[in-house]
């Protein structure tokens, strides 16, 4: 068993080295489990470590099968620890002075909050990336205490209808743009800043923010799925020779990406929908422009991209989790999430012919897998 774990660990290190070579933008896909009450087995995910096949419930044969490839795919049985293990190196780079953004994208109910925060308010089981990240940063800081002194501060804000809200008291706050050295620096001076020294400080703070986000949702229907929540960890470090670093880790639980038919919503709902569509597509445009190394990156098109400007692009590292639900009724949303994620992904599918070959190989793998399943059912 020890030998096995060693090999797994070596593979993981190798994987992370390869990821580093691949650049600063990565996309992971996470498929949540199917719940008992849902239409079963209509969508079949036949996942590999970095690919999945989605089967159209209406035409499960040939042209109803679509292959998607990402830096990593986590199936329904993947645990919070599995997900964190492949996120940790990125998070740790914050302590070396890199800015990092992690986004959870997907339709409402696909598992965004599960990945970022965990299952529910008050539960300390299955904590998500927000907690595990801070826990890990504290550990790393303790480990490095003889060479580096770190200070960590946390801010929690929500972007709702293109306005910033302090998650502590749900007041509206202003974004300030400060020009220094020819570069625009964006900050939220009125969002409460908290020094955190331990994991319990963090848990207390985050439960508070989560509760507030939920309170907001009684006023306006389902607000937490109509707003983006941004948890920012500001890291300041000073080494023994007086060298300093300042970096940020942004952990973003995005608004639900579901396409709401505009003809069906009016008033407040329509405004919400327009703002969400605008900010999610702006985010996509920014990441795509960065991935393609375009000279113009349209940060100014939404509040979200404006806030995160200094942490997107340059040497900053970006990770997008594309969340999908396996249930049949979500087929359309699932495809649209995966297409969005594919668009911002830097995973090279290569030339058209190579692409075709790889999807044929994946397709064959998928067929073998479903035959194996059918056989197992017969036995």
* Minimum distance from residue 252 beta carbon to Mg ion (Å): 12
Stretch of residues binding ligand ADP (CB under 6 A), selected from 107-115, 160-168, 299-307, 370-378: 107-115
Contact between 8 and 297 under an 8 Å Cβ cutoff? The reply is no
- Chain residues 335-374 in contact with ligand ADP, contact rule CB under 6 A: none
Query: In Å, how far are 5, 13, 273 from 1, measured between CA atoms?
Result: 6, 18, 51
- Chain residues 199-228 in contact with ligand ADP, contact rule CB under 6 A: 225
| 334 assigned to a ligand binding site | no
87 touching ligand ADP, by CB under 6 A = no
Contact between 292 and 86 under an 8 Å Cβ cutoff? The reply is no
Phi-psi region of 248 (alpha: psi -120 to 50; beta: other; left: phi over 0): beta
- Chain residues 312-341 in contact with ligand ADP, contact rule CB under 6 A: 323
Which tokens in the block code for residue 94?
A: 């914050």
Of the two residues 114 and 250, which places its CB atom closer to ligand ADP in the complex?
114
* Minimum distance from residue 352 beta carbon to Mg ion (Å): 38
| 108 assigned to a ligand binding site | yes
Stretch of residues binding ligand ADP (CB under 6 A), selected from 102-110, 140-148, 227-235, 346-354: 102-110
| Contact code string over 70-109 relative to Mg ion, x by CB under 5 A | ----------------------------------------
Stretch of residues binding ligand ADP (CB under 6 A), selected from 19-27, 105-113, 170-178, 289-297: 105-113
Contact between 151 and 195 under an 8 Å Cβ cutoff? The reply is yes
Task: Report d(CA 194, CA 232) in Å as an integer.
Answer: 10
CB-based burial of residue 163 (10 Å sphere; 0-12 exposed, 13-18 middle, 19+ buried)?
Answer: middle
- The partner in contact with residue 227, picked from Mg ion, ligand ADP, none with C-beta cut-offs of 5 to 8 angstroms by kind, is none
119 touching ligand ADP, by CB under 6 A = yes
33 touching ligand ADP, by CB under 6 A = yes
Task: Report d(CA 232, CA 133) in Å as an integer.
Answer: 11
Half-sphere exposure of 363 (CA within 13 A, CB side): 14
Contact between 87 and 129 under an 8 Å Cβ cutoff? The reply is yes
Handedness of CA 264, 269, 275, 279 (dihedral sign): negative
| 113 assigned to a ligand binding site | yes
* Minimum distance from residue 44 beta carbon to ligand ADP (Å): 18
CA 228-74-34 angle, to 5 degrees, is: 80
108 touching ligand ADP, by CB under 6 A = yes
Secondary structure (3-state) at 251: strand
Of the two residues 256 and 284, which places its CB atom closer to ligand ADP in the complex?
256
Q: Figure out which of the listed residues 24, 51, 69, 113 binds Mg ion, where binding follows CB under 5 A.
A: 113
Strands 244-253 and 72-74, sheet pairing: unpaired
**CB-CB neighbours of 207 under 10 Å:** 15
Task: Report d(CA 116, CA 251) in Å as an integer.
Answer: 7
111 touching ligand ADP, by CB under 6 A = yes
- The partner in contact with residue 106, picked from ligand ADP, Mg ion, none with C-beta cut-offs of 5 to 8 angstroms by kind, is ligand ADP
* Minimum distance from residue 87 beta carbon to ligand ADP (Å): 14
Q: Binding site membership for ATP: which residues? A: 106-113
Which residues of the shown chain bind ligand ADP in the complex (CB under 6 A)? 32-33, 106, 108-114, 119, 225, 323
Which residues of the shown chain bind Mg ion in the complex (CB under 5 A)? 112-113
């Amino acid at each position: 068993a020890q030998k096995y774990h060693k090999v797994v660990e070596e593979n993981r290190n190798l994987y992370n080295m390869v990821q580093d070579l691949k650049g600063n933008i990565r996309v992971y896909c996470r498929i949540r489990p199917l719940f008992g009450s849902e239409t079963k087995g209509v969508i079949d995910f036949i996942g590999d470590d970095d690919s999945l096949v989605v089967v159209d419930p209406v035409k499960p044969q040939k042209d109803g099968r679509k292959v998607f490839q990402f830096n990593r795919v986590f199936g329904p049985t993947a645990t919070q620890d599995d997900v964190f293990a492949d996120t940790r190196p990125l998070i740790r780079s914050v302590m070396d002075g890199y800015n990092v953004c992690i986004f959870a994208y997907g339709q409402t109910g696909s598992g965004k909050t599960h990945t970022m925060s965990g299952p529910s308010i008050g539960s300390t089981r299955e904590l998500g990336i927000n907690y595990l990240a801070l826990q890990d940063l504290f550990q790393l800081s303790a480990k490095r205490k003889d060479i580096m002194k770190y200070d960590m501060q946390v801010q929690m804000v929500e972007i709702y209808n293109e306005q910033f809200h302090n998650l502590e008291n749900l007041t509206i706050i202003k974004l300030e743009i400060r020009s220094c050295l020819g570069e625009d620096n964006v900050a939220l001076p009125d969002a409460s800043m908290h020094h955190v020294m331990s994991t319990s400080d963090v848990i207390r703070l985050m439960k508070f923010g989560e509760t507030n986000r939920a309170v907001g949702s009684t006023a306006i229907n389902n607000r937490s799925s109509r707003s983006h929540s941004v948890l920012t960890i500001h890291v300041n470090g000073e080494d023994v020779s007086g060298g300093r670093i300042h970096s940020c880790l942004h952990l973003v639980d995005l608004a639900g990406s579901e396409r709401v038919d505009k003809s069906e919503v009016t008033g407040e709902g329509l405004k919400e929908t327009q703002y969400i569509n605008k900010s999610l597509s702006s985010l996509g445009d920014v990441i795509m422009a960065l991935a393609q190394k375009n000279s113009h990156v349209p940060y100014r098109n939404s509040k979200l991209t404006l806030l995160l400007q200094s942490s997107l692009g340059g040497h900053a590292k970006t990770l997008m989790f594309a969340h999908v639900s396996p249930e049949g009724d979500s087929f359309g949303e699932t495809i649209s999430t995966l297409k969005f994620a594919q668009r911002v992904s830097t995973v090279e599918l290569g030339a058209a012919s190579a692409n075709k070959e790889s999807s044929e190989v994946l397709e064959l793998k998928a067929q073998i897998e479903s035959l194996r399943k059918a056989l197992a059912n017969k036995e």
